Structure 1
Amino acid sequence: MLALQRSGRKAEALRSYATIRAQLVDELGVEPGADLRGMYESILADDAPAPAAPRQLPPDLPDFTGRADALAALAKPFQVAVVSGPPGVGKSALAVHAAHALRERFPAGQLYLDLDGREPAELLAEALRALGVEAAPPTPRERSALLRSLLAERPMLLLLDDALDAGQVRPLLPGNACSVIVTSRRRITELPGAVQIDLAEPPQDEALSLLDRHRADDVTDLLVDVNLLELVGTDPVGQPRYRLPDLIRHHALERGHDREALSRVLAAWTVTTEHAMARLPTTVFSLTAARAPRWRLPDQTLDRLTADPLGWFEAEHDSLAGAVAVAAEAGLAESAWGLAAAMVPYLDLHCRLDTWQRTHTLALAAARASGDTYGEAAMLRGLAQVALYQDRYDEAAGGFTRSRRLFHELGDVRAEATSICGLGAVSQFSGRQARSLGHFRRALAMFLAADDPHGEAFVRQAIGRVHLRAGELAQASESLRQAMRLAQELGDSHREGCVCLQMGNLHGAMSFHRHALDIFESLGDRHCGAYALQSMAGLQVTRGELAPASAALERSLEIFQELGDRSGAASTTQLLGELHRSAGRTVLARDYLKHASELRRDLPVRTSGA
């Protein structure tokens, strides 16, 4: 009704009201509502409310630079002007700046449409909505006609941004009283009488005036304004995120063979990643590339970026993995494996095993190609840890053994000890408790010699776990007590949680299990949290608390399945079967126990001699 009335078709608008009123009365037995009746009465009185003038132009650039000739051409009267040029040359920035200069000529308003590959029918509906037409006609031809009718009474300035071709633009063109600015990557010559403004790269003096500015945020804003960067949102730590348009990114990569420039970028990534890593709750297996280039941001900036280290890693996860790949491809081995190694504590904490495997595989190849023995050892150790988590024990043992040998040849006692810890874990999970204890005791002596209290806390907890599983409760208690003291002195909350878990198993105390679970959940460590749930459920079963135990086991099973921990899933499924059997749910228990048996059959055979 409103569209018909505003386009001068009052009689048709009134007939529309009569039609809808008849339908409402006949089919629903009700009269039209107050809004519809009010519109009918206003049409009768010829005083339908005038819509507010749309003011849709994007923000102007107060420090717009250059393009004097193009601006002069757009300052003259025109019906249609086409601004064309390659991506990033500043078409949209020029069009917006010129449109703001013309606003006073068009008091009825300014419409802005981002064409970007969209269909004319959709664009026409958007324009009509801006003019107050809620229900657009069904066909593009009718929508185009209605748009022209409305704009004939209200001359406006239209900015049609990023047009594909003339066919996309023609349905949007108004009558003679309006002006239209079109931007496009191609020169659109099929619009009769259009003013053609072809933009090329700006002259050197204009380009220099436009850039780099004394402040980085100024430069970033300008790059966004001229479409060399795209703002895509805000990351988990509240910072704006940008990306390069595809064409510009590919062009930059093609020309990005300047190793010095690439090395500088990677050097900044390395320092920032290591700074964030040092703030994580656990860094026991961290290794660093001592000779990798480093470029340090100002301390205040570093501290602000990594104030929430987990949030920073979460935000930069994909970028860091990409940086490793770029460094490896460019043959910058130390930067590649240094970044990959610095990510390990975060990847371990959040069980990002796919990224861990991918980055270490790339960096390992780069280290070997460049003859970087330390980098090779570090990446072999990291890949062995992933294999251990995925129950590939022979592969894990091989990786830990090779990395240990290389670290020993290089004389790095601490790094060698981390590989020996891996061998201890493989032996323990393979059921060789005595051999496991020997590995851990050897690693403990090496961590003590290297004056590494974090490593000492880890290995004392591991020794306590071995004693506990062997039923040697006094030895287990002593080792765990020492590990707890170290963890608390170091402020290593993650290690404290691991020790609490073992303490709970040792003393049968629910308070230890709950404290461990609280720590793991606060750190976002779902993997260790799943083991805490599993242990807590075991204690609940012995107390006869079957309902909460079942819920805890179901939660842990879901996490194990999501993270791909097959042995964890098998043990939890077994416990669920035993729980349902004790509760008299025979059929359900049989299903769980059968599934647990199938899961264990799928696990690799534990033949490792580690």
Structure 2
Amino acid sequence: MRFRLLGPLEVAGPGGPALITAERQRVVLAVLLLEPNRIVPMGRLIDAVWGESPPPTARAQIQICVSMVRASMAKVGLPDVIQTRSPGYLAEVGDDELDLHVFERAAAAGRTAAEAGRFEEAASAFETALGLWRGSSCFGGGISSTALEAPAARLDEQRLAVVEQWVDARLALGLHQQLVARLIDLVMQNPLRERLRAQLMMALSRSGRQAEALEVYRRGRRELVDELGIEPGEELRRLQESILSGRLDGGPAAPVPPEAPVLPAAVAAALAVPAVPAASAVFAAPAATAVEPPAVPRLLPGAIADFTGRDGLLAQLEDALEEATETSYAMRIVSITGRGGVGKTTLAIHLGHSLANRFPDGQMFAKLRGPSAQPIPPTRILERFLRSLGIPGSAVPSSLEERAELFRNLVADKRVLIVLDDAIDEEQVRWLLPGSSTCPVLITSRSRLAGLEGTRSVRIDVFSTEQALQLLSRILGADRIHSELTSALQLIKLCGNLALALRIVAARLAARPHWPLSKMVARLHDESQRLDELTHGGVGVRAGLAMAYQGLPADAQRLFRRLSMLEAAEFSSWVAAPLLDLAVTEAEDTLEFLVDAQLVDVEVVEGRRTRYRLHDLVRVYSQECLAAYESTAERSLVLGRVLSTWLLLVEEAHRRAYGGDHTLIHGQAPRLPLDPSVTDRELADPLRWFEDERVSLITAVRQAAGAGLDELCWDLALTLVTLFEMYGYFDDWRTTHEIALEITRRHDNRRGQAAMLYSLGSLHMFEYKLDEARGRLGLARELFRQVGDVHGEALALRNLAFADRIQGRLDEAMEGYEKALVMLSGVNDSTAEAHVLSNMAQIHLDRGLIAEGKQTMVAGLAAVERSGNQRVRAQILCRLGEAHLQIDEVTEAEYVFSQALETVRSVGDPVGECYALRGLAVVRSRQGSHGAAYEMLEQAMVIASQAHEYLAIGRIQLSLGEVAADKDDHDQAKEHIGVALDIFGRIKATRWQKESARLMSEVCAASDDAAGAAAYARAGSG
């Protein structure tokens, strides 16, 4: 199936899952998929996204959403799913491509089979239908639309109806005993659904549990009366009377082993019910506890009463322990791995208790690490195991080998569950293995135990926010949590979602019912005191972390301490080298040692380089160790090494992505080199590297400022600009430069100030805040002149000329460009020369001087050849294409724009790509291929929107208006041109405002709107 609505909204093509994360896009796609192969009007899509208050540009924004969804689908091999069909859009979906279609067909087949008395066939069909659900609510997170609430509720109702029909089929097959546990949970989740309650009563009664069935009725009646003020319906009342009078038909009986699954795994997951039901929540009387034979070892510690949040892991672990092996004699070993405090031991003990009845010969438990983090020898653990199995102390062998042999012999024919907690390594565990397939082994460890053959490893992570809320609610009461929900969420974040930390906080709050949650939040906010607060009753987070830290070798301890100096949330492996002042290979091996010790998390995401991070509480402990063991001077030296390496990598990334070190001004800060092979590895794809490291780079600028490294700070910030500009990260551009401007002012670094003012002025220029741009560029030009930096002055002058050109002051712009060109020639910045020549050529084109424009562009291309900058070459080619279009040389324009498109795609320039696509679209329109032109413009719109390139968005909207006008679709043309006018007005692009007004006048005239034509004609000539 390609499209999934029954759970979180998902789309998958031949190339994998489509990444559609923006909420508006997901709303639009969900609405289209709910009515597959039918036209959904634009108005309904607008209602779904904005409700009763859509913005004036709603239609244009829906167009952008659809374009982005199409682009995401095209990347995974689904290019033609969403079709434009007046008056809206249509999603073309095959019969077996949408899970909703398959669900409805399978449910219908089940009902047909049930009506014909073929109950096994019916149950199987219903299970197929329910197995398609991936959760109990439709569309999943990331979508909030009032318009989707009704269809989501309708689908949930259909799911429950099929559940009830499945239960009917199983009851008809006499499988009532199997159904009891699942029905208990279904009734608890849907307490007012009378049909499910009736089915539970029937299953209990047929299982000989009439008293419990009547208690289910009594509780249901009480809830209906309390909640709705009504009595139970006729079906429930008659069923109660039948049970009381003994008239209920027992139905056929089918003996089933207790272990037999009630539901296929996929169906159980769809119903989202716990594997082990809490029957005491439904029945008044708990079942009696069987008397244990005294000879059977029961070594498991007591399970906690408020265990919660791990249902999925419990089911996964249970399956792993129960699954068949290839041979009847192979051991079953499952390890639970995760950092200290995440809840490994609690989970293992809870699982052990839940499976106890399946291991009648006992459950054994041993901690493999002592209070001081030292491993407990296997000889001592085997002695305990042997004594628990009835071997007197005098008969316990003295050697490790003999104890292990005797242990294996004693359990060989028994069903015993063995739980080994906090294992250090494989060698410690091997002596404790039973050697029998009837005695599964459950191990918890911070290490992965990869050398333990045949082990299935299950990693346990920190709680999700929802799981953490469940835990706090279980301990403190739901009312207390809900009354201070904001504080509860802050507590969870401050505890890093770590189970141990949450339990400590909850225990302290439970002991102080007069404390508001906000008080604990305030106490935890101070990082220096946080680990002190996370201690209660002799248990604390710090103790577990200290245990792990003390077991590390010296280099690993030093790296662990220094990692907290990196303020970025995640980092790459190379940072270990400057932190330790070691070769990269040796330093990365030390980092992996910390990963194995579960002190550093590692994240591997397809398409990204491996990333490492410290958990929040681990970071706090790391900072404590740093303060205790490293002097201020040492820390400054280490931070300087890391930041100097960052500067080197950023400069090299710029050179590789931009074809050289052009248009940049550099400072005198030191650069710390890496091994060339490591640099090549990191920067094999410099633009991808920048995307991965962007957040860390911004943090590095901030840390440089905090350390008073003003020269390094402004140099690093300025070197990042080209990368920020390429992807439209204008907020990052502003943030880094305001930080660097402040530190250069504080240190009276005038050249650094000039560089930051020049770059911030350029940012204002890209945002089309041209008045602000002029102010800062003017200050920068003056400061550069004062410090004698001709290159910087020329760059500032070049950008001032651009502002003049955009605002229609062509004479002033040409004068500024000519001055800048002379200065740039003197400093050999051929890329900046090419920029200037390209803009001068555009001025010639704007004046209708085509020959002069072409001649200037030839000079610009010659400058590009000297610099090798392919990005600027593509810009000049696009301008050359515009020149050809201006004199109707369509074939020549097609060739030039195609060259430009090939170039920008090869260098990864999204802004250049949207301009090249727009130019080719105009060519296609001139050739009469309006459909192809429209598709190209939609693709260009997606790219321009993602890059926040407003001038490009306006020009693309204008071109869309031209295509619509050529097709005599006057309403569509007016809509696109209106959006373009709005954009050009906001960015004060005077020349394009006039062009848009002129075209709008022509469209109004063609649609017999004389008044509009006259008004826009005046605006176009004004």
Task: Give TM-score scaled by structure 2 length.
Answer: 0.45
Query: Could you tell me which residue of structure 1 aligns to residue 984 of structure 2?
Result: 600
Task: Identify if the C-alpha distance between structure 1 residues 381 and 285 changes in structure 2 by more than 3 Å, giving closer, same or farther.
Answer: farther
Match of 2:117 among 23, 29, 39: 29
Task: Identify if the C-alpha distance between structure 1 residues 28 and 308 changes in structure 2 by more than 3 Å, giving closer, same or farther.
Answer: farther
Within 5 Å, give how 1:221-300 maps onto structure 2: 221-234=592-605, 236=607, 239-250=609-620, 258-282=635-659, 286-300=663-677
Give the 3-state SS of the residue equivalent to 1:387 in structure 2.
Answer: helix
Instruction: Output the CA distance in 1 between the equivalents of 2:913 and 2:377.
Output: 67
Read off the aligned partner of 2:746 and give its amino acid letter. A
Within 5 Å, give how 1:90-101 maps onto structure 2: 95=424, 100-101=429-430
Instruction: Output the CA distance in 2 between the equivalents of 1:487 and 1:115.
Output: 53
Residue 553 (structure 1) shift: 2.8
Contact in 2 for aligned 1:573/1:592 (Cα 8 Å): yes
Point out the more displaced range, 438-447 or 26-35: 26-35
Residue 333 (structure 1) shift: 1.5
Residue 551 (structure 1) shift: 2.6
Within 5 Å, give how 1:332-343 maps onto structure 2: 332-343=709-720
Residue 578 (structure 1) shift: 3.4
Match of 2:324 among 47, 51, 76: 51
Read off the aligned partner of 2:554 and give its amino acid letter. L
Unaligned runs of 5+ in 2: 1-109, 125-169, 179-253, 261-321, 326-330, 339-367, 386-419, 445-457, 469-497, 507-533, 560-581, 886-892, 992-1022
Unaligned runs of 5+ in 1: 1-21, 80-90, 123-159, 169-184, 191-196
Contact in 1 for aligned 2:724/2:730 (Cα 8 Å): yes
Query: Could you tell me which residue of structure 2 aligns to residue 126 of structure 1?
Result: none
Point out the more displaced range, 91-100 or 273-282: 91-100
Give the 3-state SS of the residue equivalent to 1:302 in structure 2.
Answer: helix
Residue 498 (structure 1) shift: 1.0
Instruction: Output the CA distance in 1 between the equivalents of 2:323 and 2:621.
Output: 50
Read off the aligned partner of 1:491 and give its amino acid letter. G
Question: Is residue 2:939 matched to residue 1:555?
Answer: yes
Instruction: Output the CA distance in 1 between the equivalents of 2:797 and 2:323.
Output: 80
Query: Could you tell me which residue of structure 2 aligns to residue 588 of structure 1?
Result: 972
Residue 431 (structure 1) shift: 0.6
Instruction: Output the CA distance in 1 between the equivalents of 2:683 and 2:771.
Output: 38
Give the 3-state SS of the residue equivalent to 1:227 in structure 2.
Answer: coil
Question: Is residue 2:813 matched to residue 1:436?
Answer: yes
Within 5 Å, give how 1:170-569 maps onto structure 2: 200=546, 207-208=553-554, 215-234=586-605, 236=607, 239-250=609-620, 258-282=635-659, 286-508=663-885, 509-569=893-953
Read off the aligned partner of 2:591 and give its amino acid letter. T
Contact in 1 for aligned 2:665/2:792 (Cα 8 Å): no
What's the CA shift string for 1:186-217, capped at 9, x where partnerless? 68889xxxxxx978458989642866698223
Residue 318 (structure 1) shift: 1.1
Instruction: Output the CA distance in 1 between the equivalents of 2:944 and 2:793.
Output: 30
Read off the aligned partner of 2:927 and give its amino acid letter. R
Instruction: Output the CA distance in 1 between the equivalents of 2:766 and 2:466.
Output: 54
Contact in 2 for aligned 1:400/1:419 (Cα 8 Å): yes
Task: Identify if the C-alpha distance between structure 1 residues 57 and 346 changes in structure 2 by more than 3 Å, giving closer, same or farther.
Answer: same
Give the 3-state SS of the residue equivalent to 1:57 in structure 2.
Answer: strand
What's the CA shift string for 1:538-570, capped at 9, x where partnerless? 333333332222333333334434433333333
CA RMSD of the aligned region, Å?
4.4
Residue 224 (structure 1) shift: 1.2
Task: Identify if the C-alpha distance between structure 1 residues 210 and 347 changes in structure 2 by more than 3 Å, giving closer, same or farther.
Answer: closer
Give the 3-state SS of the residue equivalent to 1:56 in structure 2.
Answer: strand
Point out the more displaced range, 551-560 or 273-282: 551-560
Q: Percent identity?
A: 25
Query: Could you tell me which residue of structure 1 aligns to residue 380 of structure 2?
Result: 76
Residue 105 (structure 1) shift: 3.8
Instruction: Output the CA distance in 1 between the equivalents of 2:684 and 2:738.
Output: 30
Bigger RCO of structures 1 and 2 (CA < 8 A, at least 6 apart): 1
What's the CA shift string for 1:353-403, capped at 9, x where partnerless? 221111111111111111111111111111111111111001111122111
Residue 236 (structure 1) shift: 4.3
Residue 425 (structure 1) shift: 0.8
Give the 3-state SS of the residue equivalent to 1:428 in structure 2.
Answer: helix
Read off the aligned partner of 1:51 and give its amino acid letter. A
Instruction: Output the CA distance in 1 between the equivalents of 2:378 and 2:500.
Output: 18
Task: Give TM-score scaled by structure 1 length.
Answer: 0.72
Task: Identify if the C-alpha distance between structure 1 residues 364 and 94 changes in structure 2 by more than 3 Å, giving closer, same or farther.
Answer: farther
Read off the aligned partner of 2:334 and give its amino acid letter. Q
Instruction: Output the CA distance in 2 between the equivalents of 1:418 and 1:379.
Output: 12
Residue 495 (structure 1) shift: 1.6
Task: Identify if the C-alpha distance between structure 1 residues 429 and 246 changes in structure 2 by more than 3 Å, giving closer, same or farther.
Answer: same
Residue 71 (structure 1) shift: 1.2
Point out the more displaced range, 568-577 or 92-101: 92-101
Instruction: Output the CA distance in 2 between the equivalents of 1:120 and 1:491.
Output: 54
Instruction: Output the CA distance in 2 between the equivalents of 1:350 and 1:119.
Output: 32
Task: Identify if the C-alpha distance between structure 1 residues 489 and 449 changes in structure 2 by more than 3 Å, giving closer, same or farther.
Answer: closer
Give the 3-state SS of the residue equivalent to 1:402 in structure 2.
Answer: helix
Residue 102 (structure 1) shift: 5.0
Residue 284 (structure 1) shift: 6.8
What is the total number of aligned residue pairs between the two structures? 512
Question: Is residue 2:382 matched to residue 1:104?
Answer: no
Contact in 1 for aligned 2:601/2:614 (Cα 8 Å): yes
Instruction: Output the CA distance in 1 between the equivalents of 2:655 and 2:835.
Output: 17
Instruction: Output the CA distance in 1 between the equivalents of 2:964 and 2:376.
Output: 83
Task: Identify if the C-alpha distance between structure 1 residues 573 and 200 changes in structure 2 by more than 3 Å, giving closer, same or farther.
Answer: closer
Query: Could you tell me which residue of structure 1 aligns to residue 357 of structure 2?
Result: none
Read off the aligned partner of 1:72 and give its amino acid letter. I
Query: Could you tell me which residue of structure 2 aligns to residue 571 of structure 1?
Result: 955
Give the 3-state SS of the residue equivalent to 1:228 in structure 2.
Answer: coil
Contact in 2 for aligned 1:57/1:100 (Cα 8 Å): no
Read off the aligned partner of 1:110 and give its amino acid letter. V
Instruction: Output the CA distance in 1 between the equivalents of 2:989 and 2:111.
Output: 75
What's the CA shift string for 1:19-78, capped at 9, x where partnerless? xxx9998556336479999x99x9889999973454222689xxx999997312675236
Give the 3-state SS of the residue equivalent to 1:464 in structure 2.
Answer: helix
Contact in 2 for aligned 1:65/1:209 (Cα 8 Å): no
What's the CA shift string for 1:470-508, capped at 9, x where partnerless? 222222122211222332343321122111111112223
Contact in 2 for aligned 1:364/1:375 (Cα 8 Å): yes
Instruction: Output the CA distance in 2 between the equivalents of 1:210 and 1:393.
Output: 53
Residue 432 (structure 1) shift: 1.1
Give the 3-state SS of the residue equivalent to 1:215 in structure 2.
Answer: helix
Instruction: Output the CA distance in 2 between the equivalents of 1:546 and 1:312.
Output: 38
Instruction: Output the CA distance in 2 between the equivalents of 1:264 and 1:290.
Output: 17
Instruction: Output the CA distance in 2 between the equivalents of 1:423 and 1:117.
Output: 54
Contact in 2 for aligned 1:270/1:294 (Cα 8 Å): yes
Instruction: Output the CA distance in 1 between the equivalents of 2:422 and 2:712.
Output: 38
Read off the aligned partner of 1:76 and give its amino acid letter. R
Instruction: Output the CA distance in 2 between the equivalents of 1:119 and 1:311.
Output: 31
Read off the aligned partner of 2:441 and give its amino acid letter. Q
Instruction: Output the CA distance in 2 between the equivalents of 1:339 and 1:472.
Output: 42
Read off the aligned partner of 1:456 and give its amino acid letter. E
Residue 320 (structure 1) shift: 0.5
Instruction: Output the CA distance in 1 between the equivalents of 2:699 and 2:972.
Output: 46
Contact in 2 for aligned 1:457/1:486 (Cα 8 Å): yes
